[in-house]
Amino acid sequence: MQLFVETWRQGWVMLASGSVDVWQIVWTSLLLSGVATLVAVLIGLPVGYIVGAKRFLGRRAALVIFNAGMGLPPTVVGLIVAMTFSRRGPLGFMNLLYTRPIVVIAQLIIAVPVVMAITAAAVAAVPRELTLQARSLGAGQLRIGALTLSEARMGLLAAVAGGFGSIISEVGAVSMVGGNLEGDTRVMTTAMMLFTRQGQYGPALALAVVLMAIVIFVNVVLTGFQTSADRWEAGAR
């Protein structure tokens, strides 16, 4: 028990004083995962919308692929991306291995199916009659798309949160392709792994607290959106 108390104290001291580059690591994590989430949303939202809202040949196959993608093991992603961008790999000429862009790419591959699948499910849950109703009142395709996204907005928030959550906490792929380079590709999860291996539990625990705080913050914001919307829809003013 003494270990936990002591480590906890050390962790707080480090966070408060900034004596190690904890905040640099936190910033790198947020930056890389933030960019990856943003790009994942830009790709995943429209594709998820099309798959969720439209009927076309191969739609079912697309849904199966997205759903399977949600369970994609990060280490498999790391392996494939590392091989692809290794010197002997097809994209080795780009020299991206162990750089920030490759970390974003790996995270993107993990997050995109999550965003797509949750978006598709949220959009598909919007009743067809609702869009029919909008069309009957004179709405064109763009307006109907906007209405569908608006009706599915809670699901879309969940898609964004799910995408972000799947990569901010991920360690396998990031360490395999990023190399955990100090000041460059070291993120919270890889740093925690390193500090733990070195027996430096203090900074590892400090990072764990920050990571948990971020995850909780994202979920609190999401739940806040949902409950305020639910309350308003229930008639409370």
Partner 1 sequence: MTEPLALVGENIQRTFPRSGFTLDVPRVEAPAGSVLALLGPSGSGKTTLLLILGLLDQPDSGRVLLGGRAVTGRDRDARFQMAAVFQRPYLFKGSVAENVAYGLVMRHVPRAEIASRVEAALGRVGLAGYGSRSALSLSGGEAQRVSLARALVLEPRVLLLDEPLANLDPLLKRRLTHDFARILRESGATALWVTHDHDEAIVVADHIAVMNRGRIVTHGPADEVMGLPVDEWTAVFLGMEEPQTGTVVGSAEGLVEIAAGSVRVVVTGDAPVGSAVEFSVRPEDVILFEEGVELPLSTARNQLPVRVESVQARGTSNHIVLETDGMRLAASVSRSSTADLGLEPGRRALAVFKATAVRWKASTP
Q: Using CB under 8 A as the criterion, what x/- string covers residues 148-177 for binding partner 1?
A: --xx--------------------------
Task: Indicate the residue type of 229.
Answer: A
235 binds partner 1 (CB under 8 A): yes
Residue 68: Cβ-neighbour burial (10 angstroms; 0-12, 13-18, 19+)? exposed
C-beta closer to partner 1: residue 86 or 223: 223
The residue among 108, 93, 92, 85 whose CA lies nearest residue 176 is 85
The residue among 162, 206, 141 whose CA lies nearest residue 37 is 162
The nearest distance, CB 151 to partner 1, in angstroms, is 6
The nearest distance, CB 149 to partner 1, in angstroms, is 11
136 binds partner 1 (CB under 8 A): yes
Tokens representing 113 are 């199916």
Tokens representing 172 are 């396998």
From 28-36, 76-84, 91-99, 127-135, span contacting partner 1 (CB under 8 A): 127-135
The nearest distance, CB 140 to partner 1, in angstroms, is 8
The nearest distance, CB 214 to partner 1, in angstroms, is 29
- The Cα 121–Cα 54 span in angstroms is 12
Q: Is the dihedral of CA 186, 187, 190, 196 positive or negative?
A: positive
From 48-56, 124-132, 174-182, 198-206, span contacting partner 1 (CB under 8 A): 124-132
Strand ranges (DSSP E) for the chain? none
CB 155 within 8 Å of CB 225: no
C-beta closer to partner 1: residue 9 or 231: 231
| Residues contributing to the site for partner 1 (CB under 8 A) | 127, 129-130, 132-140, 143, 147, 150-151, 229, 232-235, 237
